[in-house]
């Protein structure tokens, strides 16, 4: 019986290998692996470390490896391969043969950008290098193209089968900026930048793959820094992002600390502002550096498209993509109460990264957020899985509200996690992790200090968790198997495996022995 079961499972895997082709798993940044068949509430107890591989990517400030991606089946010169695609901040892209855990190919981009002579070295906020995670697009049966924006701002299109360029790199953005994870939607690449790195403006970018035309639009704020890059509305073909730091003053063309929706003009390929939203307490968010800086998640509920985003203030904003802020651009469908960050800390608390949304097998729509720091003393969920000191995952159900509009209903809060990062839902299980990173930016003895030396010393190690998606109850954790922490990364889940990397350049693959 056991052998038949394994055969059947193997058949399922062979028939429908799952991909994870972009940050957040899809252009709407749902962090939902829809095709997982092996990992489940009943099997995650058997998860083990399958392999790990050290990738010789040079670290820049706190950055090393970007979130891993997965291609389920690529036709390569040596046959069909299940590949993990791993980008590194130092202009590297690696492909790892998942079956063996061995390096399959490696491409390092030739950079046309060189540091100036007076360059003082990479910093945490402006590390230089390739900061935008790559994104992958299908290019015919068994073929995939990897799109990467190198440090010099050029767009590379490489063949996933062998890592070779399929065309010469083309100009996309200014060099030495800080673009965020790229997104691919209807043959257009989307990204945005922040922190004014390299003296560059903070703008949203599009690259039209058919015409090679670049579009850009800037909200005049301090930068858009949702770590998973922009999310794309499937209904409006519009890119949405939080606008990070900066004043909210739309009358004067300043859209900081809010949300913007920008859309490519089909004729000119320029990028135009089509919608915007500013929280009613934006002035407070600016004053306390509680930026709207989270990658939103966009999903459908009862046939209508909605979006949820968050900020360091630590609440969720529930929006209808037809009009994200209502007539006055300041009224979303709902603002949740504060979930965390009671002490109004701009560095070690609040919501960071991206969100998660999925439907369970009963058709219930969920929205999950990670958060850093203790839970707010006034926030209660029906199920709480212990005292939260360093961070956790908060889960909400999307339900019909009294006014006929949907609302976010608190459901559960996970166990404590050391700096909880964006989780992934797969087949009834939430995969989450605490990065173990010390994210403090200010210290009583020296004040602000972004240096790697100080933060690395205080960081610990990442821990991966599997939680029951209905209750948040812990089902499994990786204990001390991951030896280092990570920064600016994420996880991928596909085909019975979970991928996570660390600051020292190790890529770990956990999963079920198959």
Partner 1 sequence: MLPWLLLLGLQSDPAKLIEELEKENTAYIRLLSDWGKLTKYGSENAELRAPKPGENRVVFFGDDVFEQWPDFFPDKKEYLNRGISNQATPQMLVRFRQDVVALKPKVVVIMGGTNDFAGYAGPATEGTISENIVTMVELAKLHGIRVVLASVTPICDCVKILSERRPPGKILGFNGWLKGYARQSGSVYADLYAVLGQGRNMRKELTTDGLIPNAVGYAEMTPVIEKAIAEALAR
Please identify, among the stretches 337-345, 393-401, 463-471, 491-499, the one whose residues bind partner 1 according to the rule CB under 8 A: 337-345
Specify the residue, 212 or 458, whose C-beta has the smaller distance to partner 1.
Answer: 458
- Binding status of residue 462 toward partner 1 by CB under 8 A: no
Q: Alpha-carbon dihedral of residues 196, 211, 170, 487, nearest 10 degrees?
A: 50
CB of 336 to partner 1, least distance (A): 14
Q: Are 269 and 247 in contact (CB under 8 A)?
A: no
> Is 281 one of the binding residues for partner 1 (CB under 8 A)?
yes
Closest residue by Cα to residue 296 from 225, 230, 350: 230
With beta carbons less than 8 A apart as the criterion, state whether 217 and 204 touch: yes
Look up residue 78 and give its two tokens: 């040596």
* Secondary structure letter of residue 250 according to DSSP: G
Which listed residue (287, 302, 405, 458) binds partner 1 by CB under 8 A?
A: 287
Tell me whether residue 288 or residue 451 sits nearer to partner 1 (CB atom): 288
Burial readout 334-358 (b: 16 or more C-beta within 10 A, e: otherwise): bbbebbbbbebbbbbbbbbbbbbbb
- Is 284 among the residues that bind partner 1 (CB under 8 A)? yes
Distance in angstroms (rounded) separating the CA atoms of residues 411 and 29? 21
Neighbour order of strands in the sheet with 102-108? 69-76, 79-88, 92-97, 102-108
Q: Which of residues 89-148 bind partner 1 (CB under 8 A)?
A: none
State the burial class of residue 445 (Cβ atoms within 10 Å of its Cβ: 0-12, 13-18, 19+): exposed
Residue 67 or 278 with smaller CB distance to partner 1: 278
> Under a CB-based contact definition with an 8 Å cutoff, are residues 449 and 456 in contact?
no
Binding span for partner 1 by CB under 8 A among 81-89, 228-236, 283-291, 359-367: 283-291
Distance (Å, whole) CA 138 – CA 203: 27
Q: Cite the DSSP H helix spans in 112-209.
A: none
Q: By CB under 8 A, tell whether 288 contacts partner 1.
A: yes
289 lies in the site for partner 1, by CB under 8 A: no
Per CB under 8 A, 386 contacts partner 1:
no
Q: Find the shortest distance in angstroms from Cβ 510 to partner 1.
A: 32
| Alpha helices for 281-356 (secondary structure H) | 282-287
Q: Are strands 102-108 and 92-97 parallel, antiparallel or unpaired?
A: antiparallel
List the interface residues with partner 1, window 428-447 (CB under 8 A).
Answer: 444
Shortest distance (Å) from residue 365 CB to partner 1: 29
Please classify residue 236 by burial: count the beta carbons closer than 10 Å to its beta carbon, then call 0-12 exposed, 13-18 middle and 19+ buried: middle
Give the span between the Cα atoms of 65 and 179, in whole angstroms.
15
Number of residues that bind partner 1 (CB under 8 A): 14
Q: Determine the Cα angle at 133 with ends 168 and 374, to 5°.
A: 170
Distance of closest approach, residue 32 Cβ to partner 1, in angstroms? 32
Residue 292 Cβ vs partner 1, minimum distance, rounded to whole Å: 14
In the numeric block, which tokens belong to residue 483?
């030896």
* Residue 201 DSSP label: -
Q: 7: which 2 tokens?
A: 């055969």
| Least distance between partner 1 and beta carbon 450 (Å) | 18
Interface residue with partner 1 among 26, 345, 384, 506 (CB under 8 A) is: 345
Q: Should residue 344 be labelled a site residue for partner 1 when binding is judged by CB under 8 A?
A: yes
* Nearest distance in Å: CB 188, partner 1: 37
Q: How far is the CB of 281 from partner 1 (least distance, A)?
A: 4
Query: Segment contacting partner 1 (CB under 8 A): 47-55, 117-125, 295-303, 338-346?
Result: 338-346
Does residue 6 belong to the site contacting partner 1 (CB under 8 A)? no
Q: Which of 282, 314, 430, 462 binds partner 1 (CB under 8 A)?
A: 282
Q: Which residue number, 291 or 313, has a Cβ lying nearer to partner 1?
A: 313
Q: Which residue in the set 26, 313, 384, 437 belongs to the binding site for partner 1 (CB under 8 A)?
A: 313
Closest approach of Cβ 409 to partner 1, in Å? 23
C-beta of residue 292 within 8 angstroms of C-beta of residue 284? no
Comparing CB distances to partner 1, the nearer of 7 and 284 is 284
- The rounded distance, in Å, linking the Cα atoms of 222 and 79 is 47
Instruction: Choose, by CB under 8 A, the member of 115, 283, 322, 400 that binds partner 1.
Output: 283
Cβ neighbours around 397 below 10 Å, total: 17
> Which residue, 342 or 474, has its beta carbon nearer to partner 1?
342
Contacts for 420 with CB less than 8 Å, ≥ 6 apart: 370, 371, 372, 390, 391, 392, 393, 414, 432, 433, 434
| SS3 of residue 251 by DSSP | helix
Exposed / middle / buried, residue 383 (Cβ in 10 Å: 0-12, 13-18, 19+): middle
Interface region with partner 1, contact rule CB under 8 A, candidates 129-137, 233-241, 295-303, 343-351: 343-351
Select from 70-78, 185-193, 278-286, 406-414 the region that touches partner 1 (CB under 8 A): 278-286
- Residue for token digits 């019975």? 496
Interface stretch with partner 1, choices 40-48, 117-125, 218-226, 281-289 (CB under 8 A) = 281-289
Return the range that interacts with partner 1 (CB under 8 A); candidates 53-61, 112-120, 342-350, 357-365: 342-350
Among 280, 302, 386, 458, contact with partner 1 (rule: CB under 8 A)? 280
CB of 280 to partner 1, least distance (A): 5
CA nearest to 421, candidates 452, 379, 463 = 463
Which residues of the shown chain bind partner 1 in the complex (CB under 8 A)? 280-285, 287-288, 313, 342-345, 444
């Amino acid at each position: 019986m056991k052998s038949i079961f394994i055969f059947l499972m193997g058949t399922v895997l062979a028939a429908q290998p799952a991909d994870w082709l972009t940050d957040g798993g899809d252009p709407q940044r749902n962090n939902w692996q829809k095709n997982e068949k092996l990992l489940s509430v009943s099997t995650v107890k058997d998860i083990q470390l399958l392999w790990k591989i050290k990738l010789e990517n040079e670290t820049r400030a706190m950055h090393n490896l970007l979130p891993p991606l997965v291609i389920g089946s690529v036709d390569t010169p040596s046959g069909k391969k299940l590949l993990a695609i791993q980008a590194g901040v130092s202009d590297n892209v690696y492909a790892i043969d998942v079956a063996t855990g061995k390096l399959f190919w490696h491409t390092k981009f030739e950079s046309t950008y060189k540091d100036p002579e007076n360059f003082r070295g990479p910093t945490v906020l402006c590390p230089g290098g390739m900061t935008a995670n790559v994104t992958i697009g299908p290019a015919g049966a068994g073929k995939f193209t990897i799109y990467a924006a190198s440090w010099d701002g050029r767009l590379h299109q490489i063949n996933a089968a062998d890592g070779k360029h399929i065309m010469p790199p083309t100009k996309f953005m200014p060099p030495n900026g800080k673009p965020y994870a790229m997104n691919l939607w209807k043959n257009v690449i989307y990204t945005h930048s922040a922190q004014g790195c390299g003296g560059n403006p903070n703008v949203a970018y599009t690259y039209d793959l058919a015409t090679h035309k670049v579009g850009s639009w800037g909200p005049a704020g301090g930068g858009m820094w949702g770590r998973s890059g922009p999310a794309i509305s499937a209904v409006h073909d519009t890119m949405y992002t939080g606008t990070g730091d900066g004043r909210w003053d739309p009358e004067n063309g300043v859209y900081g600390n809010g949300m913007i929706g920008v859309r490519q003009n089909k004729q000119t390929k320029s990028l135009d502002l089509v919608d915007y939203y500013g929280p009613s307490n934006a002035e407070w968010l600016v004053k306390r550096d509680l930026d709207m800086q989270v990658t939103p998640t966009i999903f459908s509920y009862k046939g209508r498209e909605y979006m949820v985003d968050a900020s360091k203030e630590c609440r969720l904003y529930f929006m209808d993509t037809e009009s994200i802020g209502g007539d006055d651009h300041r009224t979303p469908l709902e603002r949740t109460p504060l979930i965390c960050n009671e002490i109004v800390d701009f560095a070690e608390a609040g919501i960071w990264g991206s969100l998660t949304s999925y439907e369970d097998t009963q058709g219930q729509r969920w929205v999950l957020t990670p958060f850093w720091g203790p839970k707010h003393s006034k926030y209660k969920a029906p199920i709480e899985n212990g005292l939260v000191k360093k961070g956790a995952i908060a889960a909400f159900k999307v339900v019909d509200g009294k006014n006929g509009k949907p609302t976010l209903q608190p459901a559960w809060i996970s166990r404590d996690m050391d700096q909880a990062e964006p989780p992934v839902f797969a087949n009834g299980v939430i995969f989450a992790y605490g990065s173990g990173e010390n994210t403090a930016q200010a210290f009583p003895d020296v004040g602000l200090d972004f240096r790697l030396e100080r933060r690395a010393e205080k960081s610990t190690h990442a821990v991966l968790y599997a939680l029951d998606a209905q209750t948040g109850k812990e089902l499994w954790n990786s204990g001390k198997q991951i030896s280092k922490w990570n920064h600016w990364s994420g996880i991928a889940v596909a085909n019975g495996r979970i991928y996570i990397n660390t600051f020292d350049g190790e890529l770990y693959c956990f999963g079920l022995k198959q």
